[in-house]
Each structure stands twice: as structure tokens, then as C-alpha cells.
Structure 1
Amino acid sequence: MSTSSVADAPSPATATRPVRGRLELDIGVRGSRSVASRQFHEGALRVLRPHYLDNSGQVSYVVVNPGGAYLGADLFVLDVEVGDGADLLLTTQSATKVYRTPGSFAEQRMTVRLGEGARLELVPDQLIAYREASYRQRTHITVRPSSCLLMAEVVTPGWSPDGAAFRYEEVRLRNEIQVQSGTGEPELLALDNLLIRPPGGDVTGLGFMEGFSHLGSVIVVDCRVDQALADELHRLTGAYKALSGISLTQTVAGTTGLVLRALSNSTGELNRLLTACANLLRERWYGQGPLNLRKH
């Protein structure tokens, strides 16, 4: 896993590939609730009707891919805007499954904008990369100094006929987070690149996956993020069968980012760990109960 500060623009070939699914979702405030002020979908992406999982006013949307999988050269594009004071919980109906991608990788591009006092919890089901799969995910996020962002994701290898893990070709996750304060240009808060390329070497060895097969990540951006919170989350992860590490970003315009990585051999264990982190923040910052997505 690596972190870089160099821009990574799509090549002309990937920039012009056809879009297989597109979703646009804008969230605003109506009365005491957050609601969709605009939504658009075409192709192989859509959202289910909204739910309110508690009385906080936070709206919950579930993204659905009726095709059920990402294949070679597939491109999915998502654009999400959470307006001033609005609150969105965004998840997926099921795991993102990437199957064999001969010829070209599957790709997801996501753009997120958070207004002043806006909040987004982005908690998709796990990403499963199967044999000979290649997948790239680019997420570009712009927050305001008073925004709150939480992202949680698990990457797991799919089943291989010989029972071996890490038979996919490549998984590349790139998160670029900027802070917009005032009317000037946004400032870079974090550029987080994660690249796993199993054919290039033994990624299960020491110094990379440390003998584990599954990886989980949590990213938090909020003006309340500090070293004390990082220490508390690190202590919390000690209760789980996972190897974890936490780092903090620089502070930009009064807001700070936190990145947690966890390694395990179990999707369930990583999901429990990431959910515990989310629940701690939900209760402390918003007085909400534990995350319960009610998808099944």
C-alpha cells in the first residue's frame, strides 16, 4: 500500500470508455429531514427508495447494480452532492463483484461534494475480486471545513478453483480529498493510493499483507479528528482478530483526516471492526445508535 501526492489523471483510453452505469444523487434538507433534491440514473445503476433508520433525519440510500457484477472494460460513474446541513448514509445492496476482465480493467469513478455542516457515511458492502480480475476505483471528494465524512470499505479475494487466494490481477483504490474554504481553490487534504498486484509478487508476505488475505479501510474527515481519537480507535481495534494501523493527515482549514487500515483473513471480522469504529463516532458526535442497514 502506498501514498502519493502526484496527480493520477485517467489516460485518454480510459477517459473515453463508454459508461455502463451512471448515478447522480443530490441531498438537501426539508424540514427536519434530509431528502433527495435531485436524482438521475441510467444503465446498470440505480437507488432503492430512501429509508430513515432512526429519528435523526439522516436519509439512507442503497445503490443497486441489477447486473450484479463488474466485467472487463465496464465503467460506472457516481456523482453525489450532500448540501449544507444535509445528512446521507450511502451503501450498496450487495458486494461489488469483479469477475475476469480480459482486455481491460473494470472501473468506478465517484465524485462527492459535501456542503457546510453536511455529513456522509459511505459504507458499501465488500469488494470481491475474482480470478484474473482487474479493478480500479477513483474517488474524488471535496469537503467544507465543517463537513463530516466517514468511508469504510473491505477488499477480499474471490474463490479460485484451486482454492488459492490472490488470483486477481490488480485492485487499485485511489481517494483524493480536498477542502474548500471560501471561494478560492480547494486545498489537498489527502491523496490515498492503495495498489494490490498479486501477480507481481507475494503480497501475503511481511511488509505488505503480513500473511493476511483481506483488507479493510476507514477514512474519517472532521474538525473533531485528533490524536486522542486516533489512539482511542486503535485501542478499539485491539478487540478484533486483525492487524491494524492508523495515521493522521495534516490539518487544512481546521479539519483533519484519519486513515485506518486493518488486515485479517475474515470479511466478517473486518466488517465488525469497521462497524465498531463507525458506531463510536455515530454515538459520540451525533447521538445515534449502532449502524443497522436492514438490507436483508
Structure 2
Amino acid sequence: MARRGGASHARHQFHQGALRILRPIHLDGSGQVCYTVVNPGGAFLGADHYRMDITVEEKASLLLTTQSATKVYRTPQGPATQDVRLVLGPGAVLENIPDQLIIYRDGSYRQTTRVIVHPGASLVSAEVITPGWSPDGERFRYRELRLRTEVRVGDAHASRIFAVDQLRLEPGVDALDRVGQLEGHSHIGQLLVVDRRVDTELVDVVSGLCVQSGLRAGVSSIGITTDDGVRGLVVRSLGHRTEDVVHLHENVTNHVRHLWRGQGPLALRKY
């Protein structure tokens, strides 16, 4: 992604295999471009492997979303995997707001996300995870979920570790309803914000939004503090409905959009 004439556009794009990209749209007058990733096959299956590689160049702004939920069905041939690489240049903005990830009975899914953020860039990235329907009514019949997110600060040539986040759920090994796991909840939300402007005042505001959401939710500051001043926060939530978790993520995202860029609220028109 590059910025030209006051608006962001794709300098180069390529897709092959199952994933496709819809034509870009501009949802407001900020110059930010919105791209939608589509999986015409409808789901991830056993041993499927997907890869996304996205670079947002200097002062470009990208809102990345999906057309519908990512569904993982039975994976007898082995886990479905996805590798995501995101690179943000100086002054770049990336808002990664996909639809929910739904894992069905006997499904196994592993995702690795690697992000390289320039100290002057801004990142918002969300995940919503839900269990798929099962004939016997049990909520957690999938085999395995692994999400690993690594955030580095620098550029494609030299960078340092800022934060690493790991989520691993194995219903056949651990009872997910117990204390310290999901504690009776079915839906998981994670929202990551990385930006120099993250401060204690913002953390306090986000904490208030978590309380107002009615979810079991909280916010934490993250990252290794160094001279470049990059800071981050992560919002984690547990709930029973996708739309409740999405609403919390939208409220946090809308707050930072307005606070930092004077940009209007998200208008993806999905919920």
C-alpha cells in the first residue's frame, strides 16, 4: 500500500489459490483505503495453508477486513494453517478488523502473525474466536487452536522484539469451562493497539469501555519500553455473543481513530 495524491492505493497486489481480494473502496474522506479478503471456498480444511503478506508504506492507511467469518471444519489431514506478515512504514496506519474465526468439531487451526511496525506507525488488530455448532450440542468439540502474534519495531531490514502474544486452546486436554480458562464463556476477543501515543489516559478510557461492554473484559499495557517510545495495549474479553465482542472492539477502535486522526467511526455495516 502506498499514498499518492492524498489517498492510499495498492502499489502492487497478487493473489493465488483460495484467497481473493475485492475491489478497494474508500469509506470516508480521510484517504484510507479498505480492502476485503474473500475465501470463495467458504472454509479452511485439513492441511490447507494460507499466507498473507501486506506492506503499508510511508503515510499510507489501510483498513483490512473479510467478507465473512473464517470457518475451520474437520481437519483429519492435519491442521489448517495461516501465516500473516504485516509491515508498517513511517506514519503508516493499519486497522486489521476481520470477521470472527469459527472452529467446528474436530477442527484444528494454527495462525502465526508477524508484524514489523515503524516507531511512527499505528496498528490496530482484532481477533474474535467462537466455537462452531456441534450435533451433540457441546460447545468445544474442536481439537486445537493456536494463535501466535509477534510484534517487532523497526523495518524490514532491522527490528527488535516488542511483544509476543500466544493463545493455545486444546479442549481435549484442558476443560475450557474451568477457572483460568473460559470460565463458562464461549467467545474470545483480542484487540491489539501499538502506537507511540498509547498512554495511561488511553488505557483508563479503554478500561471504562471494557466495563461498559458487559463482557468479562480487561486491558493491559504491553511491550518492551525503549528509546523509540513505542507503546501498546491489549484488550481481552470473554462473552457469549459475537456482536458483543465486536461492539467492544469497534468502540475502542473508534476512540483511537477520533483521538489520533480525527477520523469518523468504522462503517463496515456487518453488525
1:234 aligns with one of 207, 210, 230: 207
- Equivalent residue, structure 1, for 2:176: 203
Q: Does 1:282 align with 2:257?
A: yes
Report the CA distance between 1:101 and its aligned residue: 0.4
Is contact 1:93-1:295 (8 Å) kept? no
Match of 1:73 in 2: 47
Task: Give the SS at the match of 1:283.
Answer: helix
Give the deviation of 1:174 after TM superposition: 0.5
Write the deviation string for residues 214-264 of structure 1: whole angstroms up to 9, x where unpaired.
100000000001222112101111112211122212324210121110000
Matched, 1:224 2:181: no
1:118-163, Cα deviation, whole Å (9 max, x unpaired): 0000000000000000000100000100000000110000001011
Where does the alignment leave 5 or more consecutive residues of structure 1 unmatched?
1-26
Alignment correspondent of 1:118? 92
1:33 matched residue in structure 2: 7
Q: Which amino acid aligns with 1:251?
A: T
Q: How does 1:48-197 map to 2 (within 5 A)?
A: 48-180=22-154, 185-197=158-170
| Length-normalised TM-score, structure 1 | 0.88
One-letter amino acid of the structure 2 residue matched with residue 205 of structure 1: R
1:258 paired residue among 208, 233, 236: 233
Contact between 1:142 and 1:180, CA under 8 Å: does it hold in 2?
A: yes
Q: Secondary structure at the match of 2:212?
A: coil
Amino acid at match of 1:287: G
* 1:184 positional shift: 7.0
C-alpha deviation, 1:293, in angstroms: 1.4
Contact 1:251–1:257 at 8 Å: present in 2 too?
no
How far residue 206 of structure 1 moved from its aligned partner, in angstroms, is 1.0
Give the Cα separation in 2 of the matches to 1:185 and 1:114: 13
The whole-number CA distance in structure 2 between the counterparts of 1:170 and 1:214 is 15
Kindly provide the amino acid, as one letter, of the partner of residue 176 in structure 2.
Answer: V
Counterpart AA for 1:279: N
| Cα separation, 2, equivalents of 1:208 and 1:234 | 21
Give 4+ residue runs of structure 1 displaced > 3 Å after superposition.
Answer: none
**Distance in structure 1 (CA, Å) of the matches to 2:38 and 2:171:** 29
Residue ranges of structure 2 left out of the alignment (5+ in a row): none
% identical equivalent positions: 50
Q: With structure 2 as the length reference, what TM-score do the two structures score?
A: 0.96
Given that 2:191 and 2:234 are in contact with CA atoms closer than 8 Å, whether structure 1 keeps it comes out as yes
Q: Summarize the Cα distance change of 1:184–1:72 in structure 2 as closer, same or farther, 3 Å threshold.
A: closer
| Number of residue-to-residue matches in the alignment | 269
SS at match of 1:135: strand
